[in-house]
């Protein structure tokens, strides 16, 4: 989430997007580790689900895609 926010901040500071909508960004993690990925893929996964309805409007729905390299067959 921080990287996306920094990208948007830089685009706005550079003047490239004063009147245009900001581009859509899909964060991607390329994981090359040997073990299964166990980290959360979104902010909402880290929060107490019982509190989500009341906090929904304040929580970013940003998540990222995970590409686990070890799952790609060698023939590619």
Extract the runs of DSSP E, i.e. beta strands, from the chain: 28-31, 65-68
Is 13 part of any domain? Answer: no
pLDDT digits (tens, 9 = 90+) for 7-64: 888 988 888 777 778 888 888 889 999 889 888 888 778 777 777 677 777 766 678 8
| Closest to 31 measured CA to CA, from 74, 62, 68, 73 | 68
Is 7 part of any domain? Answer: no
pLDDT for the residue numbered 30 = 92
Is 2 part of any domain? Answer: no
Q: pTM score, two decimals?
A: 0.58
Is 29 part of any domain? Answer: yes
Domain span at 58: 22-76
pLDDT digits (tens, 9 = 90+) for 4-21: 888 888 988 888 777 778
Contact 34, 5 (CB under 8 A): no
Is 8 part of any domain? Answer: no
Is 9 part of any domain? Answer: no
Is 11 part of any domain? Answer: no
Higher pLDDT, 31 or 74: 31
pLDDT for the residue numbered 76 = 60
Domain count, the chain: 1
Q: Taking the mean position of all CA atoms in its chain, how far away is CA 66?
A: 9
pLDDT for the residue numbered 25 = 85
Is 12 part of any domain? Answer: no
| Closest to 6 measured CA to CA, from 21, 20, 33, 27 | 27
């Amino acid at each position: 989430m921080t990287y996306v926010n920094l990208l948007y901040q830089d685009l706005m500071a550079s003047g490239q997007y004063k009147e245009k909508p900001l581009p859509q960004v899909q964060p991607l993690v390329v994981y090359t580790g040997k073990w299964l990925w166990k980290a959360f893929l979104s902010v909402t996964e880290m929060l107490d689900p019982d509190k989500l309805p009341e906090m929904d409007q304040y929580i970013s729905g940003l998540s990222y895609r995970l590409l686990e390299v070890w799952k790609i067959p060698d023939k590619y």
